[in-house]
Amino acid sequence: MRPSLMSIACALALLAGCASNTIVPTYNTSDPNLQVGGKRPQDSPPQVENAGSFCLQVEEKWHTDGKTPDGQALWTRDTFRKVVPCT
């Protein structure tokens, strides 16, 4: 049994339609603790915050945390806190 010309044309159209619908990722984020791609963000200098009866030294550092499927770096920010004397 030979496939009809119409069924071959439908199959080719279906394959062509599936091949052209490539999903292009967008890497927009509103999260201030995450950056996609580019160079490593700059660390902020340590800051001392008064918490009432004690003070905290807050330091933020960026590190790479993997890659996107297309090879862009994922940068995430860590926040470190420690108790320090108030000045």
User: For 10-64, what is each residue's pLDDT tens digit?
Assistant: 666 666 655 556 666 777 778 888 999 889 999 999 999 999 889 999 999 999 9
In single-letter form, the type of residue at position 39 comes to: K
Q: Tell me the C-alpha distance between 16 and 29, whole Å.
A: 33
- For residue 80, count CB atoms less than 10 angstroms from its CB and return exposed for 0-12, middle for 13-18, buried for 19 or more: exposed
Q: Which of 27, 45, 47 is nearest to 37 (CA)?
A: 27
Return the pLDDT at 26.
73
